Structure 1
Amino acid sequence: MHTLRARDNFTVSGRPAHLRLMRAMVLVKKAAAKVNGRQGDIPEYAAEAIQLSCDDILAGLLDDHFIVDAYQGGAGTSTNMNVNEMIANRAIERLGGTKGDSRLIHPIDHVNLYQSTNDVYPTALRIAVIPLLRVLSEELSSLQEALQEKERQYADVLRLGRTQLMDALPIMAGQSFGAYAKAVARDRWRLYKAEERLREINIGGTAVGTGMNAPFTYAYAIAEELREMTGLGVCRSDFPMDATQNMDVFVETSGLLKAAAVNLLKISGDFRLLNSGPSGGIGEYKLPAVQVGSSIMPGKVNPVMAEMAGSVAIRVIANDTAVTLAAASGQLELNAFTPLIAEALLESLELLSRAVPLFKERCVQGLTLDTVHCQENLDRSGVMAAAAVSYLGYDTAAELAKAVTATGQPLEQLLQERGLMRAEQIEAILHPLEVTKPGIPGSGRGV
């Protein structure tokens, strides 16, 4: 059997090809059997037995029979044959025969009729990817909403801004959460749009996309059958040779996952930094304490959910490199590295789909701000002197900023003591709403 040879040849990772991919391939086989039975190209008894066997596999009854390693040569032929032989043997059993007796149900002549690994595998990968994209898009939408809730919650809290890790112009704490939400919204929209290219399948293209050995009637009928079975709106490519040899649609999808991972890494990293302390760090954010942080330091609590999100993001970024190199390594009419693309892409989708809701529920939603400490940090910084530049000039404002830092005196006090501004003018210029919007603070020349 092809499956056993492949099992022995590819003793690499110790884990089979991704289960979602395998089940998507089984769906393709079920659709093919239905079409071929209806069109009289295989006996009706064989078509029925194959479809029922596919149902058994889709129900998870035979998962332990997926035994070919995820990392394999042959562009996925071994995985395709693993599926063909599983279905054939199950169908033979259903018909009362002995497993391996291909005279009753043949893994190629019946199960794989009018198919090639080269059209089954890319088609199945698309069918496996699209539902995960939809799940991730919804999870990102939920994360966006959680960040927007924090934007509303802390809309009136002023905190020190920071650029290059140094004190910068003040911002409303809610504004930073709004910026995060905006980035996540872009991720969600990009992933939603990527599905359009994934819906084009090359089933019926057979080995190189020309469709040799597959009747036209079969090619269009199986695409229609898959559309009905999956509800994914898939359609036959108008040029199957393209979808057979070119993997750029998966590179595009992986690249969008990388973009989402980059944003997740940035947000989780900011949370960790602003949470640092509680005594020796910034300490403006308070992340939920979800578990003990140390086996030797009592009371230590680490930002583990933010760290988890960062770890997943780094893995997704690494997977994107694998997808990129694998897709670029295809040659002529086929890409031999499609199994690597599948493994990396599906892993990234599943990791993000699981990590994002955990990050939202156990980190973002429970995040609070130490508003007193936010104000203390702001008071100790001379950065608010920037609000007076238009009135006092840069040099005077710079001298005031240095004095605040050196003496610890509030800027308001220094302005009054030196007779530089009246109390009501100081209040107008340094008002939180004035220093966190476009325009010149206190002048009325803003938005």
Structure 2
Amino acid sequence: MYRIENDLLGDMQVPANAYYGIQTQRAIDNFQISGVKLHQFPEFIKGLAYVKWGAAETNFQLGLLDEKLKNAIVEAAKEVVAGKFDKEFPIDMIQGGAGTSTNMNINEVLANRALELMGYQKGEYQHCSPNDHVNLSQSTNDAYPTAIRIAGVRSNMLLIEHLKDLIKSIRNKGEEFKHVLKMGRTQLQDAVPMTLGQEFEAFAVTLEEEIERLTQNSNLFLETNMGATAIGTGLNAAPGYAKLCAENLAKVTGLAIVSAPNLIEATPDTGAYVIYSSALKRMAIKISKICNDLRLLSSGPRCGLNEINLPPMQPGSSIMPGKVNPVIPEVMNQVCFRVIGNDLTVTMASEAGQLQLNVMEPVLTYAIMESMQLLSNGMDTLRQKCIEGITANEEHCREMVLHSIGIVTALNPYIGYKNSTKIAKEALETGKSVYNLVLEHNILSKEQIDDILNPENMLAPKKG
């Protein structure tokens, strides 16, 4: 069953039960690009609904929209924020038109739902028009980027919660492994002893730094260009609209949204997206490095480092019996590669802006939203299916320390550089351990060397 709607290009059939309308249908037909649909990013849909909610309140307060229409649009927007109509956003995330299709998608859904709430049929736009009422005092060029920014701030809050959960899990492992002596390495060569707990605590600390970076950069999204309309001049918006709309958006979202001081500058400006995407990339690089370390530390089990065991998640080979691969760190590495690549997309899309508008915001939006979603899902997977189940091969770690040439560096303050050099050389030539050679030459007693290598004494600088 269909209903007939019309626009500038003529008539078109729209599914009778659809809340979207003709312009959304054209976008469905025109943009079969990525296969990734708007409804796969619910926070972006909520951002769009908040924009229309705030705009309706502003238009009513300025006497541009009657109370009945305002109430219907606001009620419809609240239902969209609640997730009731997510499936009514079936358009591709990558689209031409600088986001016009997305803006019209939300306009049409809210108009048709408002019509229902007022007792009319879908498509009876003379009573509530997607353009004349829902989009009143707006353009895609201010509504669309404002929705991105609201979605960005909200999604960042969720991302940080996933990050905090991962940090907590890693820190718990640091506490669990604080007594496990192992060899630290630089340039993949033996360096000096440390504890496995110190290694995991360092992972936690480096990720903890990203909370501040993400928060700081996402705060740039709080400046909106609502009221700019087409290019920032405010054409077709009433005097005072920009400031009042920002205040209403702050009220309905609970975010500290403010109006940009220069709307002509703010309309094509994508600097906030660039710097936030760079923060996502920075975090992805750190997580990927941690995953590299986890794969190295668990390598083996007989012919690698084998200092830790990752929980076995699936058979690792169709030809090699008994092989189990580090599939969770591997998939997280791939997530991070995608995020790093998305950052380049954001960079190029931002650079491609021309004159008073950046028409590449759809792919920019897609890249950022996908990165946040991938990182959130990936961090949960890494935490639940890998970090929480890691165990340490404590005795093996200690044996490697005792047989390492690098142990001599820890002994150097106690036995002197000359003795240390002599012991290191003999260990290399004979294959004997530094530990045993120090005892053999009566340089230190067993009690002394064991005390020096006590994990508690490896946690901080210590006077020799």
Q: TM-score, normalised by structure 1?
A: 0.91
Number of aligned residues: 441
Q: Which runs of 5+ in 1 are unaligned?
A: none
Partner AA of 1:371 in structure 2: E
**1:81 shift after superposition:** 1.4
Which of 12, 16, 40 is residue 37 of structure 2 equivalent to? 16
Q: Quick check: 1:134 aligned with 2:157?
A: yes
Q: Deviations over 1:124-182 (max 9, x none)?
A: 11111112211222222232222222222222221011111111111121111121111
Counterpart of 1:12, as a letter, is I
Instruction: Report whether the alignment pairs 1:78 with 2:101.
Output: yes
Does 1:340 find its partner at 2:358? Answer: no
Q: Give the counterpart letter for 1:79 in structure 2.
A: T
Match of 2:329 in 1: 306
What SS class does the counterpart of residue 386 from structure 2 fall into? helix
Provide the residue aligned with 2:461 in structure 1: 438
Alignment of 1:253-292 (within 5 A): 253-292=276-315
Assess, with a 3 A threshold, how the Cα gap between structure 1 residues 245 and 371 changes in structure 2: closer, same or farther.
same
Corresponding letter in the other structure for 1:58: V
Q: Distance in 1 between matches of 2:63 and 2:458?
A: 76
Q: Does 1:238 align with 2:251?
A: no
Show the counterpart of 1:35.
Answer: 58
User: Residues 174 and 134 (structure 1 numbering): CA distance in 2 closer, same or farther, change over 3 Å?
Assistant: same
Q: Distance in 2 between matches of 1:227 and 1:63?
A: 23
| Partner in structure 2 of residue 169 of structure 1 | 192
CA drift at 1:30? 2.1
Change (3 A) 1:22 1:390: closer
Which segment drifts farther, 369-378 or 385-394?
385-394
AA of the residue aligned to 1:10? F
Residues 26 and 83 in structure 1, CA contact (< 8 A), matched pair in contact too: yes
Report how far residue 265 of structure 1 moved: 0.5
Q: Distance in 1 between matches of 2:275 and 2:290?
A: 23
Q: How far apart are the structure 1 equivalents of 2:171 and 2:354?
A: 46
**What is the CA deviation profile of residues 397-429 of structure 1, one whole-angstrom value per residue up to 9, with x for unaligned ones?**
345224334544332332343455565664565
One-letter amino acid matched to 2:382: F
Q: Which residue of 2 aligns with 1:157?
A: 180
Q: Matched residues, percent identical?
A: 41
- Check if 1:4 corresponds to 2:21: no
Aligned to 1:217: 240
What is the identity, as a one-letter code, of the residue corresponding to 2:164? S
Q: Are the structure 2 counterparts of residues 241 and 419 from structure 1 closer, same or farther at C-alpha, using a change threshold of 3 Å?
A: same
Does the C-alpha gap of structure 1 residues 65 and 390 become closer, same or farther in structure 2, counting only changes over 3 Å? closer
Does 1:358 pair with 2:381?
yes
Residues 89-108 of structure 1: CA distance to partner in whole angstroms, max 9, x if unpaired?
A: 33334444443333222211
Unaligned runs of 5+ in 2: 1-21
Partner of 1:125: 148
Give 3-state SS (helix, strand or coil) of 1:320's partner: helix
The answer as to whether partners of 1:158 and 1:171 remain within 8 angstroms in 2 is yes
Matching of residue 179 in structure 1 with residue 214 in structure 2: no
Q: Is the 8 A contact 2:42 2:83 kept in 1?
A: no
Do the aligned residues in 2 keep the contact of 1:381 with 1:401 (CA within 8 Å)? Answer: no
**Which residue pairs with 1:226 in the alignment?**
249
Deviation at 1:110, TM superposition (A): 0.9
Match of 1:417 among 437, 440, 454: 440
Cα pair 1:170 1:436 within 8 Å, conserved? no
Which amino acid is 1:100 matched to? G
Match for residue 86 of structure 2 among 63, 70, 88? 63
Between 236-245 and 94-103, report the one with greater CA deviation.
94-103
State yes or no: 1:192 paired with 2:215. yes
Alpha carbons of 1:384 and 1:216: their partners in 2 closer, same or farther (altered >3 Å)?
same
Query: Does the 8 Å contact 1:156/1:173 carry over to 2?
Result: yes
Conservation of the 8 A alpha-carbon contact between 1:382 and 1:403: no
1:215 is paired with a residue of what secondary structure? Answer: coil
Look up the SS of the partner of 1:245 in the other structure: coil
Partner of 2:8: none
**Tell me, what secondary structure is at the counterpart of 1:162?**
strand
Q: Which residue number in structure 2 is paired with residue 114 of structure 1?
A: 137
CA distance in structure 1 between the aligned counterparts of 2:83 and 2:176, rounded to whole angstroms: 45
Q: 2:43 touches 2:154 (CA, 8 Å); kept in 1?
A: no
Question: Could you tell me how far 1:324 is from its partner in structure 2?
Answer: 1.3
Q: CA deviation at 1:345?
A: 0.6
Aligned-pair RMSD on alpha carbons?
A: 2.4
1:372 maps to 395
2:45–2:81 Cα contact (<8 Å) kept: no
> In structure 2, what residue type is equivalent to 1:7?
I
Partner of 1:207: 230
In structure 2, the CA distance between the partners of 1:305 and 1:44, relative to structure 1 (3 Å rule), is same
CA offset digits 1:341-380 (Å, max 9, x no partner): 1111111111212222332232222211100110121222
Normalised by the length of structure 2, the TM-score is 0.87
- Name the CA distance, whole Å, in 1 between partners of 2:36 and 2:218: 28
